[in-house]
Amino acid sequence: MPHPLGTQPSKIVAVHLNYPCRAKERGRVPDQPSYFLKPPSSLSGTDDALVRPGGCELMAFEGEIALVMGKRAHRVAPEQGWSHVAWVTAANDAGVYDLRYADRGSNLRSKGSDGFTPVGPRLLDATRLDPAALRLRTWVNGEQVQDADTATLLFPFGDLIADLSRLVTLEPGDVILTGTPSGASVVSPGDVVEVEVSALDQEISSGRLRNTVTDAGHDLAAWGAMPRVDAALRADAWGTGHADTPALDPDIAAALRGLATATLSSQLRKRGLQHMTIDGVRPTDPTAKLVGTAHTLRYLPLREDLFEKFGGGMNAQKRAVEELRPGQVLVMDARRDPTAGTIGDILALRAQQRGAAGVVTDGALRDSAAVAALGLPTYYAAEHPAVLGRRHIPWDTGVPIACGGALVQPGDILVGDADGVLVVPPDLVEELIADSAEQELQERFIAERVAAGEAIQGLYPLGPAWRDAYQRWRHLQSSPQTGLESSPQTSPQTGLQTSPQS
């Protein structure tokens, strides 16, 4: 279907980062807006196909609000910027990461292909809209993956127009793509992407811009840059929306499940890390093991005049749940206030369906019996029947938080068992696993010796007098031929032979 603009614009200007949630995903918050150009030939309309070029695998969608200029803008002030906009509509700033390396910064090949800027289906009269009160939503195959409003943009629309018009004259019909919120990710042939822009009350809407991803059906000609991907690029492209990539390496996760938090805590203390426990929380199931990476949610104290704006609708609490990837732990900073619930059974169920590894909150758990019945490893400070609006406002996600007195950064590793929950720095995890495994092996040896009647002096912790006996015992553990029962050992304290299994 033809795009609704009628005529081709002289230019399409796209903003790199403008939503705080997207900036957090990318790990940087720009001081000033930055831009790239998309060719007018990339425009398309609703129901037009998004064609993935041959040889590419990382076709990405980015739901955006498109501004269509109505008046020529040249050196206008920020407070005048919005008055130069005639129309607002939905857009998809589509692209392929596979070709991003070829035009670093300009994005020409990665985002400039024919049809890579669908807009529509309806144009909204800008004079009827509040630019700070627009809502953007995106769906993939019917599942909502993006939901944000324009109240907290890094660079409001009037500022963008003023900034651009200092040096670039914006002509009537020009299009500005104003950035995408968190949740943008990769789609494949057959997937359907829908984007809608509306007023916050949804009484005025662009309708859903609907495009189906297809494959080009032919190879990309071999002259020029060819598609190229690696693991880092895949991780960047998939972002928080990748439903198939675990947040933690499976081998590391398996190794951590075999270690006690008491052992890991001891190893962390040896490295000078004394404040890595999330204190004051208990598990719904002491027999369950929690292992995963942190996805954070921060609550702030209730302020009634702000709750409607930040606590209603698709608030940070709900976004945090919808942003979860398999293997992540939802970690909540509720300021250790146990007098209102921070999550209940419905959102915990949704977290489980998203593949969450568990939930940790230093506040209260609502619907505690139902949450416990889910079997999702959950740690909490108290039970409470009241909803979060009694004490808290869900404020933001993906930021460093304080949970139970511990600093938790997004991506930190959480390990929990009946003793509690630890925060493990990712850059230390491999050496911690190796040293913890050795510590637990030593403690197993020590426990066997104590069970056999040995005194703990010189044995716990393992002293020089027991080192040779431990090394012989340790060798037997790795020997597939020898059973411990058939290999007695001599106590260095008594000189008597004792069985390692006695």
Q: What is the DSSP letter of 32?
A: S
**Does the annotation flag 345 for ligand binding?**
yes
Q: Which residues of 201-237 are buried (b: 16+ CB within 10 A; e: fewer)?
A: eeebebbbbbbebeeeeeebeeeeeebebeeebbebb
Among 437, 420, 153, 439, which Cα is nearest to 283's? 420
**Does the annotation flag 462 for ligand binding?**
no
Residue keyed to tokens 């003023």: 162
The alpha-carbon radius of gyration of the chain (Å, integer) is: 28
Helix spans in 114-249 (H): 157-165, 231-238
**Does the annotation flag 341 for ligand binding?**
no
CB-count burial class (<10 Å; 0-12, 13-18, 19+) for 286: exposed
Q: How many alpha carbons fall within 13 Å on the CB side of residue 297?
A: 28
**Does the annotation flag 282 for ligand binding?**
no
CA–CA separation, 98 and 57 (whole Å): 7
**Does the annotation flag 346 for ligand binding?**
yes
Q: How many alpha carbons fall within 13 Å on the CB side of residue 350?
A: 14
CA–CA separation, 57 and 8 (whole Å): 30
CB-count burial class (<10 Å; 0-12, 13-18, 19+) for 298: buried
Residue 180: both structure tokens together: 């995408």
**Does the annotation flag 208 for ligand binding?**
no
Which run of H or of E encompasses 277? strand 277-278
Annotated binding site for substrate: 344-347, 366
Annotated binding site: 344-347, 366-367
Annotated binding site for Mg(2+): 367
